[in-house]
Structure 1
Amino acid sequence: MNQQILTIVVPCYNEEEVLPNTIHQLDKLITNFINDGLISSRSKILFVDDGSADRTWSIIYKASLHNEHVRGLKLAKNVGHQNALLAGLFTAKDASDCIVSIDADLQDDIKVIQEFINKFQAGYEIVYGVREKRNTDTLFKRKTAEWFYKLMKKLGIELIYNHADYRLMSKRAIEELQRFEEANLFLRGIVPLIGFKSTSVFYDRKERLAGQTKYPLKKMVSFAFDGITSFSVIPIRFVLSIGLVTFFVSFLFSIYFLFLKFFGTTQTGWTSLITSIWLIGGLQLIAIGLVGEYIGKIYKETKRRPKYIVDIDSYNLPFPQHLNHLEGEAMYNYELRQLPETT
């Protein structure tokens, strides 16, 4: 059986604190796989710089000069984690048999990549990395994540529970993924739609070694909302149902108040009046905002703008073997001459 070419895609945004360790660990892993005959010697690690403002690209670029396994892809500007991940997947697709995506902080256990490859060789085209438990998260994050997955299930959206973007995909699966052209990306929901034979591998997540998370609460809420509105129209139907119920209740109260006016006694009800106005006004604003969110997504889709623009691509370039004789100061001077001005 021919050895498969593996590419590990690593999206990076301001990751200079963790990158040296990440490069070292992934290079050691891929070298061991090659030595054991598990994958082809043409396998690579592709780091995607998502418009970082620190030394991220400089570290990637220098590593690619020294290490034949390391390659870099620099995007022209920050386009977000999902688009950066797509850029790496689509760039590596033509030169790979399978691709593993993983975050740069390596909180996901890289040891299970061997299980990913074993499952791929057994015939699975998509292998999901699923967290066994969430002990490293705060209670708030655990509970909100649990509620999110339950809500998505209620809305009829197929998600892999406790799975993020740590997965293996075959070349064929990524070719099918490339056919999904929507601008509003939610890969955790899109990948299961491909429908190819899939399985899961379970692991324990580790603490972040350095730097700060690139998904604070604000981004997590935005990400969750994008996921809901990109895959379901149930929220709009829910608002419509609330509107109908509110109208029906208001109609019953109108009959009741008319009954009091003609057959009983009434008093000035400023509190109930103003409460009703604020309640109905709030519902109207929520409904308009929700409908506007869907219209905004339609607006983005119709423009068909590119998801990302590549600035520098070293993935498909041959390793500079002519530099092997350079050492110390000579290599340092060469790096300074070749380093792009943008860094």
Structure 2
Amino acid sequence: MKHPILTIVVPCFNEEEVFKETAKQLTSVLENLQEQTFIDAKSKILFVDDGSTDETWPLIEEESKINRYVTGIKLSRNVGHQNALLAGLEKAKNMSDCVISIDADLQDDISVIKDFMIKFHEGYDIVYGVRKSRETDTFFKRASARGFYRLMRKIGINLIPDHADFRLMSKRALEELSHYKETNLFLRGVIPLIGFKSAKVMYDRKERFAGTSKYPLKKMLSFAFDGITSFSVAPIRLVTLIGAFSFLLSLCAAGYAFIQELLGHTESGWTSLMISIWLIGGLQLMGIGLIGEYIGKIFNETKRRPKYTVETDLLPYKHNVHSPQHHGIFSGESGD
């Protein structure tokens, strides 16, 4: 049985400070896996430059000339982490039997990549890297993450708690992923929908090797909101419930005012009137804004614009992937 070709996909945005160390450590991982006959010698590290404005792409080009494992693609502009990751997955699908995605900051523990491959050889199509704990996070980040996963679970969105984008996917899983055409991409929610045999590998998250986080609070909140609105209409239903509650409250207030009128206790109530107007007006604006968010997503979906454009490709040709006896995964079936 021939060994599977592995591609490690690494999205990069302004990662010049960490790139050399990332390439060095991932190269060591591939060399060790090859020596232990887990992977084929044609395995690669695919760096995806997401429109970096620093020296990230020149460093990728330079490394590819001296390191047979390293290759890369350069996107014409910054399209965001999820789309850059998708670009790498779609490229790797054509030259691999399995793909592992990982961020460039070396916070994910690359030593468990071997465990990923063990699970793959056992027949798993998707292997999720899951953090053992969040003790290294700040209290706010830890509390907000737990609240986010709890909320997503309550509104029916199936996410893997404490899992980001550190995962392995077989070629069959990547083929199925390509059938999901939405523009508003939230891979952490889409991949569990594929439903193939999956496993988890636990690991401890490390400190960032160098550079700064590309996900400040504002981006994290936006990412979370995109995930919710891409997978659930629960926010719109919530606004409907708030509207119904406000209507019932107004009926109670009208009844109270009518009784006061009959008893002759009516007084001018400028303050309560203003508060009522502001409350109803705020609820209306919030509802209109939320509906507008969904309409905007529909607008983006209907345009069907490309999610990314590849400007430079260091590996334009395709490898012929193997067909190991891996539960029929690579025998040319579509996976439908």
- Do the structures match in fold with TM over 0.5? yes
Quick one: distance in 2 between partners of 1:211 and 1:111? 21
TM-superposed CA distance for 1:163, in Å, is: 0.2
Q: How many residues align?
A: 318
Paired position in structure 1 for 2:97: 97
Q: Which moved more, 1:282-291 or 1:263-272?
A: 263-272
SS at match of 1:82: helix
Task: Give the TM-score, by structure 1 length.
Answer: 0.92
Q: Which moved more, 1:271-280 or 1:4-13?
A: 271-280
Quick one: distance in 2 between partners of 1:188 and 1:315? 27
Residue 314, structure 1, aligned to residue 303, structure 2: no
SS at match of 2:252: helix
Residue 147, structure 1, aligned to residue 147, structure 2: yes
Paired position in structure 2 for 1:118: 118
TM-superposed CA distance for 1:36, in Å, is: 1.7
Paired position in structure 1 for 2:327: none
TM-superposed CA distance for 1:264, in Å, is: 3.0
Paired position in structure 2 for 1:173: 173
Letter matched to residue 210 of structure 1: A
Task: Give the TM-score, by structure 2 length.
Answer: 0.93
Quick one: distance in 2 between partners of 1:222 and 1:67? 37
Contact 1:5/1:42 (8 A) holds in 2: yes
Unaligned runs of 5+ in 1: 319-343
Residues 193-220 of structure 1: per-residue CA shift (max 9 Å, x gap)? 0010001000000000110000000000
Paired position in structure 2 for 1:327: none
Q: Which moved more, 1:307-316 or 1:90-99?
A: 307-316
Quick one: distance in 2 between partners of 1:181 and 1:38? 33
Letter matched to residue 79 of structure 2: V
1:59-138 alignment, distance < 5 Å:
59-138=59-138
Letter matched to residue 64 of structure 2: S
1:182-331 alignment, distance < 5 Å:
182-316=182-316
TM-superposed CA distance for 1:266, in Å, is: 1.4
Residue 58, structure 1, aligned to residue 65, structure 2: no
SS at match of 1:137: coil
Contact 1:92/1:315 (8 A) holds in 2: no
Residues 240-280 of structure 1: per-residue CA shift (max 9 Å, x gap)? 01101101110121121011112231111111111111111
Letter matched to residue 273 of structure 1: L
Contact 1:260/1:266 (8 A) holds in 2: yes
How has the CA–CA distance of structure 1 residues 184 and 304 changed in structure 2, closer, same or farther, with 3 Å as cutoff? same
Contact 1:48/1:85 (8 A) holds in 2: yes
Aligned-pair identity (%): 62
Contact 1:49/1:73 (8 A) holds in 2: yes
TM-superposed CA distance for 1:315, in Å, is: 2.5
Contact 1:46/1:315 (8 A) holds in 2: no
SS at match of 1:16: coil
Letter matched to residue 197 of structure 2: K
SS at match of 1:209: coil
CA-atom RMSD in angstroms: 0.9
